[in-house]
Structure 1
């Protein structure tokens, strides 16, 4: 499956490089996609992705594509201030960053990776 096919599935439109993609964030000041890691218990970690444009269908296509590609479980959590946040099991920061760039959801300059 090519990156164009994945982008078409995620957006539901035929053109992944349209003008809507320039506005990556959820309307915040910086329009950045924030990828963070959180420590759970012991050696378990959780990766969160915040700031992806809401035109993407998070629950149906985006999370399923990430789960299948990275062989991990994931969910979407609704936050009152930050909107929809994608949570994935494990340390998937670099994988998600490369996936977002490859598919064309975010540019290198719009992705901010946090964590230890």
Structure 2
């Protein structure tokens, strides 16, 4: 019996009548590697017209973390948005230019909830266009923000 097979049929030395009555065929899925940036790089989502803003958390040393905001429209001034975010949340941050992802805003600490609320209040994006990535907290499902 191999645990990595895609489907597994359970067969024992029991008589056929017992096998038909009590045995069930189980299907297992092989675990695949998960890429959290796969949706962001997918061009088919952009063709659908629904652009998402991805807010992620990355763990640094120990308790330290970094919040990244990616997917804002190019017509916005990232520097002005960053300046307001830093002032509002009393944290440091920067704008990073990435080859594949474009401009990405980075903030110190876990600012996912704050950034999400700020972007909606400032009418930069709508609530249904925000995707939060990382570990799920209780506030996420109560506030109606889509989490991955």
| TM above 0.5 | yes
Query: Looking at CA atoms only, which structure, 1 or 2, has the larger radius of gyration?
Result: 2
- TM-score for the superposition, normalised by structure 2: 0.58
Residue 75 of structure 2 corresponds to residue 55 of structure 1? yes
The runs of at least 4 aligned residues of structure 1 exceeding 2 Å deviation read none
Cross-structure match for 1:41:
61
Distance (whole Å) between structure 1 residues aligned to residue 100 and residue 67 of structure 2: 18
Cross-structure match for 1:109:
128
- Quick one: higher RCO (CA 8 Å, sep 6+), 1 or 2? 1
Distance (whole Å) between structure 1 residues aligned to residue 84 and residue 74 of structure 2: 16
- TM-score for the superposition, normalised by structure 1: 0.74
Residue deviations 1:20-51 (CA, integer Å, cap 9, x gap) = xxxxx9x8624100000000001000000000
Flag structure 1 segments of 5+ consecutive residues without an equivalent: 1-24
Cross-structure match for 2:112:
93
